Structure formats: structure tokens, C-alpha cells
Amino acid sequence: MKTLVSLFIFYYVLAIAASGQSQPKTGSLNDVNFLAGHWLGTYNGGPIEANWTAPAGDNIVGFIRMMKDDKVTLYELFAFEQTSSGPVAMVKHFKPGLIGVEEKDKSDRYKFIEAKKDQALFEKEDGSIRIIYEKRGPDQLVIRRGQPKDGNWAFNDLFVFYRAQ
């Protein structure tokens, strides 16, 4: 009888553990709150500027402006919206003249994967790209882009920003 009870408890604990592993991770806008602020850097030989708001209601909004030779090369507008499965990052790209790159009713969408202190991981809807937003100290923010390579994700720094003074 003792063996039967022990087996029952063992399988019950396994069932609870397995059900916990199959549940998707959720997050909140607080997981990306570290983005808030005004950030500056360089990209492709020109200045790059980013600004994100603190969470308000169910969203965070922001932009990135890329320039070269004192002329804009690209705008990126961001919205992080809270959903039941965590924040979703939506990005639209615009050429000079505010000419949309994506169709007017489309945006690049990234679902929340996981977060830890000062870092959040998102994956593009089609699974082709992962983005890590990472605060590396009080005055440095890095956006890393990852792509599948040999069965793993290989990440490179895409944008490196420093807090604007």
C-alpha cells in the first residue's frame, strides 16, 4: 500500500511539473520599463536617436530616428501593447517623407518570450528573428538581433545607445 501511495504522489508531482512547463510565459509592460528615456548612439556612420515613454495604461510608445549627413534615413515607430500573454512589440518603418515601408495596415509584430532584470526577449511572429532589449548599466541600452544558426540563436548588437544628458 505504501508503494502505491508513493507512486501516486510521484506521478501527481510529475503531472504538476509537466503542466507548469507547458504553460506559456507571460510578462507585463514593467518588463520593458527600462527602455523609458531618451537615448543616443551611432549607426551606419550617422547619429541614431531613440525615445520611449514609461508604461501608461496598456502601452509604451517610442521612436528611433536614423540620420546620415544631417538627413533622415529611416524612422521606426514602436508600440508595446499589453495582451493576456504578455507585451507585444509592434514596429513600423518609414522612409524620409514619412513614406511607409510596410503596408498601411501592417506592422512587424514581436511576441514576448521572457524577461529578466533589465532584459526582455521578443520573437517575430514568423519565428525568423528574435530581439533582445537590454539595459547594460544605468546609461547604456542595447538592442540585439538574433537569427537561427546551427540549431541555436546567434545574437549581435544591432543598436547601442547611451542615455542623453
Read off the pLDDT of residues 47-89 as tens digits, 9 standing for 90 and up: 999 999 999 999 999 999 999 999 999 999 999 999 998 999 9
Model pTM? 0.82
- Cα(133)–Cα(141) distance, integer angstroms: 7
- Cα(21)–Cα(159) distance, integer angstroms: 33
Predicted local confidence at residue 12, as pLDDT: 40
- The three cell numbers of residue 11 are 506521478
Predicted local confidence at residue 26, as pLDDT: 82
Predicted local confidence at residue 165, as pLDDT: 77
- Cα(76)–Cα(95) distance, integer angstroms: 9
DSSP type of residue 106: -
In sequence order, which residues have a C-beta less than 8 Å from that of residue 19 and are 6 or more positions away? none
Averaged pLDDT of the chain: 88
Question: Residue 6 pLDDT > 70, yes or no?
Answer: no
- Cα(148)–Cα(79) distance, integer angstroms: 25
DSSP type of residue 102: S
Element of type H or E holding 24: none
Predicted local confidence at residue 23, as pLDDT: 46
* CA 76 to the chain's CA centroid: 14
CA angle 14, 20, 22 (to 5 degrees): 105
Q: What are the structural domains of the chain?
A: 27-163 (2.40.128.20)
Contact 133, 39 (CB under 8 A): no
DSSP SS3 for 164: coil
* CA 1 to the chain's CA centroid: 52
